[in-house]
Structure 1
Amino acid sequence: MDTRRAGRADTAGRVAAFGLYGEDASAPDTEFLHIEDIHSRSSLHAWEIGAHTHRGLFQVVVLLEGGARVRLDDRTLELAPQGAVVVPPAVVHGFQFQPGSHGYVLTVAEAVLFDGAQAHNRPLVEGLFLAACVVDLAADAPLLGRVAALLEQLMAEFRRPQLGQTMMCVWLSRSVLLLLERRRAAVSGATGPERVRTELFARFRTLVEEHHTEHWPVPRYAAALGITESRLNRLCRRLADRSAFEVVQDRLLLEARRRLIYIAAPVSVIAYELGFQDPGYFNRFFKKLTGTTPAAFRRQARGAEE
């Protein structure tokens, strides 16, 4: 089996969902935490990690030396050394590393970061996982050194079972993520009140992730969050430059695009799977937002890959 294509889609034509790349994710572990160097897995696949997602897992790739071409959903970017890529769950991502690249891949389940005892600290790193992003560490050499040292310690701790290993790995992981969030927040200018808004927006995004195919109206999302519809819209305008309705529509459109590319089912079947009661309505929804029909989009997207 060509593992590079296996990362692109599974046997049913869907984007492959892994616990770790190439490994089964049928039973995700809520206590999952893993770290490895870039070389150990990428070199086995000709330094190319095909498009895939992780179910319920957050991933951070810190590149210290070398370079990489990174795919994040429908974006492709170049990652320079001394940078980090943050990948939330469900984001389709892939990497084409320069041979010999050096760095680390940290993968953690949400429960590891935000267990009951640490739930009050969620706003401290929530902003890091609002969306896939790149954190440039090159301009802050002291912080880069601390991140690299923590990852090296985490690798050493992870490889050698001993007293308190789990606790130490969790502490080190949270430290890495907090340093990355400090850097991200410093660049973006985030403040204390901004972190509160970030947490609320993250809760909204979580609800959208869970219910977008159910076509919840915006007032229902606002009620679930315990805020007014107008406040939810102000929040979305501030953090995403979109209305709450547009955020929901964007997520539904993203899912539609993914399925049209990676699933071989007829457009009508995909429409029903996405919660549309009428395939005709799905066609109008898609064309209104993209300017093209689902069938035309599929032909164009698949033609570009050939």
Structure 2
Amino acid sequence: MPRFRTKPSIPAFALYGEASAAQPDMLHVEPIQVRSKLYRWEIEAHTHQGLHQILWVASGPAEIALDERRERCTGPVAIIIPPGVVHAFRFSRETDGFVLTFNPRAVVEGDVPATGEALRDLFAAPQILHLEPQAVATGRIAALFVDLADEFAAADSAASPVPHWLGRSIVWRLAQQSARLSQGARRGSGHADLFTRFIVLVEAHHRDHWSVARYADELGMTPERLNRLTRAETGQSALDIVHARLAREACRRLTYIAAPVSKLAFELGFKDPAYFCRFFKRHTGASPRDYRRAIGVADDARG
């Protein structure tokens, strides 16, 4: 399993290693090797707040960390990174592909609603899409990235709508592949839209420890109806989903942040670190320190 270094905190960038802020309509693409070569082929753990990112590995090896998930893979692979997801990569000189970073406005503004739906579905969760090397769809996606990089590098790219069209096409194609690979992904419906709104609220407030009643009230429904909705969509109760998200955030922080368990517990909204340890073990089967030990992260920050 790939191992990445822990840090005192997780930095957020528009583009990795750069201090400049993202523009409202930002769309940026570059070959993987351009930036990774500067950092000796390792991109350390970081996030992008408010920005979507697609890493397209056309060929060659890559070691990937998405939150607590870690994987070694060989292209063609598309790594889908929603805003706020902690990610890190390790490449080699043989790795070929592109990194596309964009504000969602860059691909959906002024377009038909279906593009927004494709964007929502594709980025509903971080994912790694393993594509068939000889498939026609894979060839189309690879060609779109090459065309986008060429258009982005053109002298008139800032005034041209073509990069945005190509970015939109990439989102469309990858959303199709994601739906195919997930074997029966949810189709858009009133229930699915309500469920998506619930997930957005959970993403924003899981560390606030809202009750199910509070989530239901924000959605204009009763707790009973919210539970029926979540069970229909996932087979889980609303509270199960909230707790799973909180446990995933705990795994993320234990993996990437070199801080005492007690400090992480308080940051996650727990008033009692001992209760946090019991919560974490109930949902993962291991104590926080055992979890760190199992994934090869040193627990040298006591507390």
TM-score after normalising by structure 2: 0.83
> What is the aligned-residue RMSD (CA, Å)?
3.0
Counterpart for residue 178 of structure 1: 172
Shift of the 118–218 alpha-carbon distance from structure 1 to 2, 3 Å rule, reads farther
* 2:272 equivalent to 1:278: yes
Number of the residue aligned with 1:195 = 188
Match of 1:14 in 2: 9
User: Is 1:41 aligned to 2:35, yes or no?
Assistant: yes
Shift of 1:229: 3.5
Q: Secondary structure at the match of 1:61?
A: strand
Q: Deviations over 1:178-230 (max 9, x none)?
A: 00111121233447x62335544333222112111111112322332344434
Residue pairs, 1:100-249, within 5 angstroms:
100-115=94-109, 118-119=112-113, 121-138=115-132, 141-162=135-156, 165=159, 167-190=161-184, 194-196=187-189, 197-249=191-243
Picking from 71, 90, 98, the partner of 2:92 is 98
Structure 1 gaps, min length 5: none
Name the CA distance, whole Å, in 1 between partners of 2:108 and 2:224. 29
Rate the CA distance shift 1:274–1:299 in 2: closer, same or farther, 3 A: same
| Structure 2 residue matching 1:16: 3-state secondary structure | coil
Contact 1:56 1:109 in 2 (8 A): yes
Q: Does 1:53 align with 2:47?
A: yes
1:227 and 1:144 map into 2 onto residues whose CA distance is 42
What SS does the aligned partner of 1:94 have? strand
SS in 2 for 1:54: coil
Given the two structures, how large is their TM-score scaled by the length of structure 1? 0.82
AA at the equivalent of 1:259: R
Q: Quick one: distance in 2 between partners of 1:97 and 1:183?
A: 24
Identity of paired residues, percent?
Answer: 42
Tell me: CA distance 1:152–1:216, structure 2 relative to 1, closer, same or farther (3 Å): same
Decide whether the 8 Å contact of 1:55 with 1:90 is kept in 2. Answer: yes
SS at match of 2:187: helix
Report which stretch shifted further, 194-203 or 94-103. 194-203
Which residue of 285, 291, 303 maps to 2:298? 303
- Once residues 85 and 140 of structure 1 are traced to their aligned partners in structure 2, the CA distance between those partners, rounded to angstroms, is 19
Q: In the aligned structure 1, how far is the partner of 2:181 from the partner of 2:73?
A: 17
- What CA distance in whole angstroms lies between the structure 2 residues aligned with 1:85 and 1:51? 15
Gapped runs of 5+ residues in structure 2? Answer: none
CA deviation map 1:80-128 (0-9, x unaligned) = 2222111112222222223222111111123334447555642223221
- Report the alpha carbon displacement of residue 66 of structure 1 after superposing the two structures with TM: 1.1
Tell me the CA shift for residue 146 of structure 1. 1.6
Q: Which moved more, 1:41-50 or 1:281-290?
A: 281-290
Q: Is the 8 A contact 1:222 1:229 kept in 2?
A: yes
Contact 1:157–1:165 (Cα < 8 Å) also in 2: no
